[in-house]
Amino acid sequence: MKLVIASNNKHKVTEIKAILGPYFDEILSLRDAGISIDVEEDGDTFAANAKKKAEEVLAVASEADAVLSDDSGLAVDALNGAPGVYSARYAGDGHDDEANNKKLLEDMESVPDGERTCRFVSAIALARKGQETLITLGAVEGQLLRAPRGESGFGYDPLFFYEPAGKSFAELTAEEKNLVSHRKRGLEAMRELLEQEK
């Protein structure tokens, strides 16, 4: 079985291969598979976006048996789940991580420390020819900091305090973060579903 990952992110491809490798004979990125497609992620949930992307890529991936995609972001309880599916463009289209983080801190300025709970969420979708699309979710709980901490990671990592480590996600090494990440948890849930099908 040939799996195409709906991404060209090398780090993501490596992580997926490590967890789902035993279930597929070959795992390729979009670039490896010679696919260039831009799917509009206009769903109102992470799961809807991941499912749409996986199914649209599968429709054009003639050589693939399956396509895996993910949609991830930060959900803040005090903001009713925002930034949510708008995590990448929270400060508006064309803005960067710094602008998104600045807007989030401004929106959370008056929220007391005990009410700054949040989580990173990742929806994983596996679209397969002739079969129902599988969807799993992974999440990791945290607290929103009042100022960025750490130099690693990307996105909201500098503002996401992970209690068990006593550090922000941007203060963790890539290896430490990958052990507990929302994507890893979603991928492990997908692996369990595939195991049940054996």
In the chain, DSSP assigns E strands to: 2-5, 26-29, 66-76, 117-128, 134-144, 160-162, 167-168
Per-residue model confidence as pLDDT tens digits over 96-105: 999 999 999 9
Residues recognised as catalytic: 71
Model pLDDT, residue 26:
95
Of 125, 79, 122, 130, give the one whose Cα is nearest residue 100: 79
Phi and psi based region of residue 34 (left: phi greater than 0; alpha: psi -120 to 50; beta: remaining): left
Model pLDDT, residue 11:
80
**pLDDT band with cut points at 50, 70 and 90 for residue 62:** confident
Q: What is the CATH number of domain 2-197?
A: 3.90.950.10
Per-residue model confidence as pLDDT tens digits over 70-94: 999 999 999 999 999 999 999 998 8
AA identity, residue 140: V
Whether 34 shows a pLDDT value over 80: the answer reads yes
